C-alpha cells in the first residue's frame, strides 16, 4: 500500500511529510522501500526492510590485498565475497606464487629455516666435492712427481738419461717419397730401406 502524505498528529499536531511506505518485508540481502541490495561490504541474513539490518562484513575474513565486490541480489551470509586487487595475486588468500609456496611450508619462518637447511646441505656437498677434486689433483701430481717412498720404480724426467748428440746423428737418415702423387699412384716409400741403414733397422 503506497501513501504519498503523512497523517495528522494528535492534539493539534502537525501533518507528517510526504513519503512512501510498503507493507512487504524485503528478503535476505535486500533492504529499503524498493528492496535494493545492501551496500558493498555489508550483508543481511534476515527478512526486513530496515537499513540497519544490513550488517558490515567481518574484516578479519578479508585478505589484505582484497576488496569486497558487488553481488546481484545482495549478500545473505556473513562471509562476504571479495576479489584480489590485482591479477598477479591468487585466490583465496591473495598471495603471490612465492608467498603461496612459503605458506605451504608453514609460513615465512619455517620456510626460511628450511631454505637455510637446503643451502647448508648444498654447501656441504659442494665442499665435499671440492675436497675430492683436490685429492684427485694431488694424486695426479704425486704420479707426475713421485717420491721414492711411494713409487720407487718411477723416475723423474730430470733423472732419465737423455740421448746424446752423437747418438742422434748416427740414427738420422734422410729418406724420400717416391711416385708422382696422383690418385692412381700416390707417394710411397721404397720397398727396401737403403743399404746404409739396413744394419740399424
Residue 1's pLDDT is 43
Using the CB atoms, write b or e for 178-192: b if 16+ within 10 Å: eeeeeeeeeeeeeee
Question: Is residue 27 classed exposed, middle or buried when 0-12, 13-18 and 19+ CB atoms within 10 A define those classes?
Answer: middle
The reply to whether the predicted model has a pTM over 0.85 is no
Residue 100's pLDDT is 86
Q: Can you point out the beta strands (E) in 61-169?
A: 66-68, 82-84
- CA angle at residue 83 from 72 to 105, to 5 degrees? 145
Are the C-beta atoms of 32 and 49 separated by less than 8 Å? Answer: yes
Residue 189's pLDDT is 81
Domain with CATH 2.10.50 in the chain: 24-91
Tell me which residue of 80, 55, 50 sits closest to 66, measured CA to CA.
80
Cell of 188: 710411397
Are the C-beta atoms of 69 and 48 separated by less than 8 Å? Answer: no
For residue 84, give the H/E element and its range: strand 82-84
Whose cell is 576488496? That residue is: 67
- Which fold would CATH assign to domain 24-91? Tumor Necrosis Factor Receptor, subunit A; domain 2 (2.10.50)
Low-confidence ranges of the chain (pLDDT < 70): 1-9, 12-23, 138-173, 200-201
User: What region, left, alpha or beta, does residue 51 occupy, with left being phi > 0 and alpha being psi -120 to 50 degrees?
Assistant: alpha
pLDDT in tens, 12-29: 666 666 665 656 789 999
Backbone angles phi, psi at 19, to 5 degrees: -175, -170
Cα(189)–Cα(106) distance, integer angstroms: 82
Amino acid at each position: 500500500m503506497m501513501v504519498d502524505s503523512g497523517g495528522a498528529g494528535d492534539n493539534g499536531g502537525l501533518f507528517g511529510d510526504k513519503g512512501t511506505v510498503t507493507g512487504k518485508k524485503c528478503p535476505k540481502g535486500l533492504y529499503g522501500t524498493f528492496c535494493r541490495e545492501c551496500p558493498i561490504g555489508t550483508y543481511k541474513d534476515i527478512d526486513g526492510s530496515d537499513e540497519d539490518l544490513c550488517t558490515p562484513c567481518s574484516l578479519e575474513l578479508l585478505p589484505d590485498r582484497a576488496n569486497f565486490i558487488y553481488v546481484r541480489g545482495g549478500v545473505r551470509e556473513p562471509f562476504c565475497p571479495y576479489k584480489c586487487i590485482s591479477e598477479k595475486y591468487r585466490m583465496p588468500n591473495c598471495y603471490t606464487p612465492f608467498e603461496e609456496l612459503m605458506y605451504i611450508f608453514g609460513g615465512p619462518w619455517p620456510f626460511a629455516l628450511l631454505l637455510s637447511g637446503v643451502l647448508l646441505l648444498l654447501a656441504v656437498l659442494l665442499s665435499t666435492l671440492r675436497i675430492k677434486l683436490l685429492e684427485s689433483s694431488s694424486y695426479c701430481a704425486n704420479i707426475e712427481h713421485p717420491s721414492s717412498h711411494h713409487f720407487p720404480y718411477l723416475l723423474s724426467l730430470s733423472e732419465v738419461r737423455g740421448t746424446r748428440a752423437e747418438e742422434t746423428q748416427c740414427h738420422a737418415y734422410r729418406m724420400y717419397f717416391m711416385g708422382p702423387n696422383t690418385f692412381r699412384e700416390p707417394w710411397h716409400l721404397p720397398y727396401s730401406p737403403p743399404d746404409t741403414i739396413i744394419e740399424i733397422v
